[in-house]
Amino acid sequence: MAGGALAQRARIYDMIIRNGEVRDPGRNFRQRADVAVQDGRIAAIESEIPPERGREVIDAKGLYVTPGLVDLHTHCFYGASGISVEADPIGARSGVTTWVDAGSFTASQVAAFRRFTVGPAQSRIFGYVHLYPDLRNPDVDVVKYVRSSVKETGQAVEKNRDIVLGVKVYVGANMNGRYSLDFMKIGRELGDQFKAPLMVHVSFTPPELPEVLALMRTGDVLTHCNNGHTLSIVDSGYSEKPGNLRPGVKEARERGVWFDVGHGAGSFNFNAARNALRLGFPPDCISTDLHTACINGPTYDLPTTMSKYLYLGMSFDDVLLRSTYNPAKIIGRVQGLGTLEVGAPADIALLALEEGQFRLVDCQRNAVMVRQRIASRLTICRGKRLTAPV
Ligand SMILES: [Zn+2]
């Protein structure tokens, strides 16, 4: 036993992050502690780990040491889909270590997504495949056409379960017009047949939200939940009026449907988010829907989106839970992802809670001044500093 203790004492770690405030909301862990990293995994969390035991020592004094951020809704099929951004350089400056692409690629592009996006990235990348290849041919019956691609799309999920989480479906008058509900029904059939969870974009009626929710099952994700549009979870739109949850919303959560923010260029409204919180219906996941049309505002990055919920009164731990543990649970591919438990992947964010005067803007250009914002100081992924590729 003495020998064991001695060996334990002599152990040298790849990296030690010292003096930080460790926050691991998935297991309610919050204390000042040192974190040791070895072979890409969390090796120890103790109140004091001597610096001489680390090959690299990082001082996190005054910072929060949290699980690497997990962004459930992004577009990062960079270089292939026009709206996509590149994961690693953005993650390096924003604390995000895991990215989920929400339908920027089609079934026939899964191989390219794997080889050119997932493969070379330091970050962890997953995705939902788009429901259908494209709708550029106006001469075809589009519903028939989408139905004809079900097999190919379902098989793309089946053969790539390590990186493909399910199928992305767009529902809204501005997206697929009058075909939205038909596409949603096709998505449902595909989901059932191939055991593929759906991520469902909602924006404007028709169809009505209860019709959409009726087709959603346990494990499916409704994204853009605080958009304030007609397909929003609260019926008071962009107004300050408290409003009510639309029919079927509560029941959907009870049966295991997840509600995701997906901020983007048009899908986050302060009043809509505030009213949902007042009605006791916070989102399960806080995500960016980051793409080229929102990365220079109003979204910018995940810490900025998280700061908006902090401003709306959500606690730091609750915000963090929704941008680490919860989305990691939905991904469900990596043991310990979204936590800092010993043995979990060493995906770590060093975050600062900055005090000052900061301007935050929603998608309807409503601006607020806030006194606190979350900012990233260092991103560690798979036990290594995440750096922008040169
Ligand atoms: Zn999106």
29 CA to middle of ligand 1, Å? Answer: 32
For residue 314, is pLDDT > 80?
A: yes
361 CA to middle of ligand 1, Å? Answer: 19
Using 50, 70 and 90 to split pLDDT, how confident is the model at 301? very high
CB atoms within 10 A of CB 311: 19
pLDDT at 142: 86
306 CA to middle of ligand 1, Å? Answer: 17
288 CA to middle of ligand 1, Å? Answer: 8
Report H helices in the chain: 2-10, 87-94, 110-112, 142-148, 150-159, 180-194, 209-213, 249-254, 270-278, 302-311, 316-321, 325-331
C-alpha 363 chain-centroid distance = 18
For residue 289, is pLDDT > 50?
A: yes
pLDDT at 173: 82
Question: Which of 72-86, 135-149, 310-324 shows the lowest per-residue confidence on average (mean pLDDT)?
Answer: 135-149
How buried is 58 (Cβ within 10 angstroms: 0-12 exposed, 13-18 middle, 19+ buried)?
Answer: buried
223 CA to middle of ligand 1, Å? Answer: 8
224 CA to middle of ligand 1, Å? Answer: 9
Using 50, 70 and 90 to split pLDDT, how confident is the model at 7? low
330 CA to middle of ligand 1, Å? Answer: 17
136 CA to middle of ligand 1, Å? Answer: 20
Tokens found for residue 285: 């996941």
Tokens found for residue 294: 């929102």
Strand, helix or coil at 151? helix
200 CA to middle of ligand 1, Å? Answer: 10
113 CA to middle of ligand 1, Å? Answer: 16
383 CA to middle of ligand 1, Å? Answer: 29
Using 50, 70 and 90 to split pLDDT, how confident is the model at 17? very high
75 CA to middle of ligand 1, Å? Answer: 6
8 Å CB contact between 170 and 180? yes
261 CA to middle of ligand 1, Å? Answer: 10
The mean pLDDT value for 2-18 works out to 74
pLDDT at 9: 58
**CA proximity to 167, closest of 207, 110, 121:** 110
Complete domains list, the chain, with CATH: 2-66+344-385 (2.30.40.10), 69-331 (3.20.20.140)
For residue 2, is pLDDT > 60?
A: no
310 CA to middle of ligand 1, Å? Answer: 23
Mean pLDDT of the chain: 95
Residue 92: beta bridge partners? none
For residue 389, is pLDDT > 80?
A: no
172 CA to middle of ligand 1, Å? Answer: 13
Digit-coded pLDDT (tens) for 103-162: 999 999 999 999 999 999 999 999 999 998 776 666 778 888 899 999 999 999 999 999
pLDDT at 1: 44
pLDDT at 11: 86
Residue with tokens 């053969």: 159
